Amino acid sequence: MTNEGGDVGRAGAHAVEVDRLEVAYPARRGREPSVVIRDMSFQVDEGEFVTIVGPSGAGKTTLLLAIDGLIEPSGGEVRVKGRRVTGPGPDRAMVFQEFGLLPWRTVLGNVMLGIELGRLDRAQGERRARELIRLVGLAGYEEHHPHQLSGGMRQRVGLARALAVAPDVLLMDEPFGALDAQTRELMGVELSRIWELDRKTVLFVTHDIDEAVYLADRVIVLSANPARVRRVIDVTLPRPRTREVRASVEFLAHREQLASLLFDADASPLQETVG
Amino acid sequence: MSTLAVGAQLRARRSERVPERARRMAIGALAVVVVLAAWQVVGDLGLVRKEFIGTPLGTLSAGGHLLADGELWSNAQSSLLAFAIGFGISIAIGVPLGLLMGWSRISRELAQAPILMLYVTPRLALLPVIVVWLGIATQAKVVVVVIGAVIPIVINTMAGVRDVDPRLIQVARSFGAGRLGLFTKILLPSATPLMLAGVRLAVGSAVLGVVIAELYVSTSGIGDLISTYGQSYDTDYVVFLVLLTAVFGWAVSALVQVVERRVERWRA
């Protein structure tokens, strides 16, 4: 299968462990191999919501693809629950920035995709799919096609599809990046609400600083060229994250800390741990 | 405004245009009537010799004769048989070949040149060879049909496969799709619209193939009838048969379109 049982998953192992990861694209004619990620290490614990930020082109998407097993590392390794990742698997599911819905399938058909490919029980899977469609707020739209849905609705389908395979880890690659600002904020609140019900381990890549702070327990800040972990910031805001939290002084403080880290030369040393 | 509300608005506007659509159809029908009338008059008044263009009434009468003495039906059967077999074989060969060529770069590079050469070769030029090989019966007609009809099917199917959105492939792989899963759940459904378009385009080629083969080398079939009546300057008969063939081709093509539209309900 896709997770090699070199060392069987140990109890107490981190949900996700990135260990000196290196990802390089092979050399092309006359060019050097380009190293996108070098010597990246961090851990994510079970039930943690971690956001990942960094400048454009910092390899954030590449990192998620490597964790999902769609890209092979050129060095180091990724472990999920103690087992090395060698390819995609039912323990991880991804939500994509451009939704990635199959246009010829209905909402229900799309949510069922992972269930079909994973060859899980069909009847049970359909029940779960319908529950999730209701959970993400799309009850009544089961027979609609993606072209009939707005961007926000399509991404809800993407989220339901990922949750339908009951993954241990949810990987989200700028899932709200293609949406307008209002929808993005709304979806953030929605996601938080849905997450509270189950508290999965989530790795959430984003450009949006507000989003990064609002959703996370910890924010991993990456540097670019090549990407590595620059800083990890703890977010000590109360949960559940309601809309009021977003206007609180504590939120602004965290946000400012993150912003200055990304934009200014010297960062404030408030509450940081190095991952 | 949500996408659904905008769609509803567009639908409302479209239904207001029904009287406008009826008006357009009426004008089109009127134009056809005018042309037919002019055609009849030109023939009756001797402005153009009837042997050259026939007349609408003469054409109808010719059709009536053909139907009455069974000549039409027996020949139509012969043509239909060749068409059905040839078209069926074209699909049976064309779709898998197109899928293969779309999927595998090696087969694409191997097969592309021969197919292109076949595409530009006039079928008439190959007829003598085919007849020597298979005689002048249905087999020869079928080969002529397949040579022409298989190509648009292959090319369009291949394009359909190559056109697949690579992001969807990534999505499927992330959910654990293997090669078979990718093929059945992503490639095939994605390629189907173009594949059907190829089948639709092949209809004309197939109909032409039957008639051409029959015109030159057959002893039965619509093309053979056309040839016989043409040689004796029975223009009305020729016109009727040509129109019949055209209507048949259009009808089959429209049938494919119906299938296409049903399958493509998911397109915006």
Structural domain includes residue A256: yes
B40 and B134 both lie in a single domain: no
Verify whether the Cβ–Cβ distance A147 to B267 is below 8 Å: yes
Better-scored residue on pLDDT, A119 or B258:
B258
Structural domain includes residue A226: yes
B15 and B92 both lie in a single domain: no
**Rounded to whole angstroms, how far apart are CA atoms A36 and A129?**
36
Q: What is the total count of domains within chain A?
A: 2
Structural domain includes residue A34: no
A117 and A249 both lie in a single domain: no
A193 and A263 both lie in a single domain: yes
Q: Note whether A139 contacts B: Cβ–Cβ < 8 A.
A: no
**Rounded to whole angstroms, how far apart are CA atoms A43 and A274?**
11
Helix (H, G, I), strand (E, B) or coil at A273: strand
B139 and B205 both lie in a single domain: yes
CA-wise closest residue to A229 among A251, A203, A196, A252? A203
Question: CATH number for the domain including B209?
Answer: 1.10.3720.10
pLDDT value of position B14: 59
- State the residue for tokens 């029975």: B234
**Rounded to whole angstroms, how far apart are CA atoms B53 and B43?**
8
Closest residue in A to B189 (Cα–Cα): A104
- State the residue for tokens 């994605």: B190
A contacts of B180 (beta carbons < 8 Å):
none
Structural domain includes residue A246: yes
Q: Note whether B132 contacts A: Cβ–Cβ < 8 A.
A: no
In this complex, which of B176, B189, B192 lies closest to A89 when CB atoms are compared?
Answer: B176
Q: Note whether B11 contacts A: Cβ–Cβ < 8 A.
A: no
Q: Which pair of structure tokens corresponds to residue B257?
A: 């379109």
**Rounded to whole angstroms, how far apart are CA atoms A256 and A209?**
9
Contact between A87 and A239 (Cβ < 8 Å)? no
Q: Note whether B182 contacts A: Cβ–Cβ < 8 A.
A: no
Phi, psi of A224 (to 5 degrees): -105, 165
pLDDT value of position B24: 86
Last residue of a domain, one of A166, A190, A218: A166
Q: What is the pTM of this model?
A: 0.80
**Rounded to whole angstroms, how far apart are CA atoms B134 and A116?**
49
A236 and A187 both lie in a single domain: yes
B97 and B214 both lie in a single domain: yes
Choose the most confident range, by mean pLDDT, from A171-185, B5-19, B54-68. Answer: A171-185
Structural domain includes residue A77: no
How far B267 CA lies from chain A's nearest CA (Å)?
Answer: 7
A contacts of B3 (beta carbons < 8 Å):
148-150
Structural domain includes residue A13: no
CA-wise closest residue to A205 among A169, A175, A235, A236? A175
A198 and A271 both lie in a single domain: yes
Mean pLDDT of B152-172: 94
A105 and A139 both lie in a single domain: yes
pLDDT digits (tens, 9 = 90+) for A212-258: 999 999 999 998 777 888 889 999 998 888 888 888 999 999 999 99
A135 and A268 both lie in a single domain: no
Mutation test of the interface with chain A: which of B6, B175, B267, choosing the one with the most A Cβ atoms within 10 A?
A: B175
**Rounded to whole angstroms, how far apart are CA atoms A200 and A220?**
18
Residues 6+ apart with CB under 8 A from A145: A103, A104, A105, A106, A107, B265, B266
CA-wise closest residue to A166 among A128, A202, A135? A128
pLDDT value of position A146: 94
Number of other CB atoms surrounding residue B183 within 10 Å: 14
A177 and A66 both lie in a single domain: yes
Chains A and B: how many Cβ contacts under 8 Å? 63
B19 and B138 both lie in a single domain: no
pLDDT value of position A271: 35
In this complex, which of A68, A102, A105 lies closest to B174 when CB atoms are compared?
Answer: A68
Residues 6+ apart with CB under 8 A from A137: A156, A190
**Could you tell me what percent of chain B has a pLDDT over 90?**
37
Question: CATH number for the domain including A262?
Answer: 3.40.50.300
Contact between A45 and A121 (Cβ < 8 Å)? no
Structural domain includes residue A23: no
B186 and B125 both lie in a single domain: yes
B91 and B19 both lie in a single domain: no
Tens place of pLDDT per residue across chain A (275 aa): 344 444 444 556 788 999 999 998 877 777 777 888 888 999 999 999 999 998 877 789 999 999 999 999 998 999 999 899 999 989 999 999 999 999 999 999 999 999 999 888 889 999 999 999 999 999 999 999 999 999 999 999 999 999 999 999 999 999 999 899 899 989 999 999 999 998 999 999 998 999 999 999 999 999 877 788 888 999 999 888 888 888 899 999 999 999 988 887 544 443 344 43
B contacts of A186 (beta carbons < 8 Å):
none
pLDDT digits (tens, 9 = 90+) for B86-98: 999 999 999 999 9
Q: Which pair of structure tokens corresponds to residue A158?
A: 């993407």
**Rounded to whole angstroms, how far apart are CA atoms B241 and B210?**
13
**Side chain identity, residue B156:** N
Q: Which pair of structure tokens corresponds to residue B186?
A: 């992503």
Contact between A126 and A164 (Cβ < 8 Å)? no
Structural domain includes residue A254: yes
Range of the domain at A144: 101-166
B contacts of A145 (beta carbons < 8 Å):
265-266
CA-wise closest residue to B188 among B130, B249, B263? B263
pLDDT digits (tens, 9 = 90+) for B232-257: 888 888 888 898 899 999 999 999 99
Verify whether the Cβ–Cβ distance B167 to A98 is below 8 Å: yes
Q: Is the dihedral of CA A38, A39, A42, A43 positive or negative?
A: positive
Give the side-chain half-sphere CA count within 13 A for B28: 6
Range of the domain at B27: 3-48
How far A169 CA lies from chain B's nearest CA (Å)?
Answer: 13
Q: Note whether B185 contacts A: Cβ–Cβ < 8 A.
A: yes
